[in-house]
Amino acid sequence: MQLEKVEQMYDNLQEDEHVLHMWAPLSLEIDEQYEYVKNGWGFELFSNALYLIAIPVLFVLNKIVFGFEVEGRENIEKVEGGKITVSNHVHPMDCTMNALINLPEKTYFPTLKANFEIPVVRHLIRLLNAVPIPNEMSNKKEFLKTMQGLLKEGKTIHLYPEVSLWPYYEKVRKFKKGAFILAIENNVPIVPIVYLFEKPQGIYEIFKSKPVIKAKVLEPIYPDDRLEKREAIEKLKDQVHRAMEDEIEKAKIKKQA
């Protein structure tokens, strides 16, 4: 796979346009009473059991199939309490990679409501702490309240500020503000995660035509509490975007050397 050709594929797309479309024949109704995060003992039991099965399977799968490796995991450990991790959205499996990076903490994933309208998958992702993002503005207040509660409890939330998934894309696209508003309003840091692609080497050359996937965890970036809210949001968004762009540029220079 030539990454230059991948980049050309996306030239005529809007920056938040979805490339992959899943079959979602079911319907999820979200109202003011919808329980975004379940807390009952039965749910916790099944969720923990699924985690115990899924985590080792995903670790082995991502390593063998995608050559997945992580650098900078210590930057996650620098944050005590609630945090938001963000990343470029470049592979259908990068959500599982983000979950592995944040271990031993569980990660909560706000995700498209449509993902909860896929048979079987809807139940699995619910147990693995995915949270549907409501389409209606009238329901977003309760959704945000739930996210704020998770952060106050010291939990980790992962968001994709690019919104849509563009497989194997090597640039950082324009960010939406949601993750940064949430960080500012709850005074928690953003920990950027950058996904990079490298030419298969060693044993991977034998069976892989696509690049292997590496993750680089960057230093936490904290809100500037000296600024007004709107300025603080823009500054945090720009800092995170710039840090991720710089890391991708470093990787490109390294590959060309």
Residue appearing with tokens 């991708």? 248
Asked if 34 and 171 touch (Cβ cutoff 8 Å), the reply is no
Measured distance CA(14)–CA(70) in Å, rounded: 30
- Residue of higher predicted confidence among 186 and 6: 186
Give the neighbor-by-neighbor strand order of the sheet with 69-71.
69-71, 212-217, 190-198, 83-87, 156-159, 107-112, 130-133
Convert the pLDDT of each residue in 19-36 to its tens digit.
Answer: 777 777 888 889 888 999
Give the closest residue to 191 by CA, choosing from 236, 150, 232, 229. Answer: 236
Q: How much is the average pLDDT of 125-149?
A: 92
List Cβ neighbours of 229 (8 Å cut-off, separation of 6 or more).
184, 185
Convert the pLDDT of each residue in 170-221 to its tens digit.
Answer: 999 999 999 999 999 999 999 999 999 998 888 887 888 889 999 999 999 9
Structural domains of the chain, with CATH = 3-19+35-256 (3.40.1130)
pTM of the model: 0.92
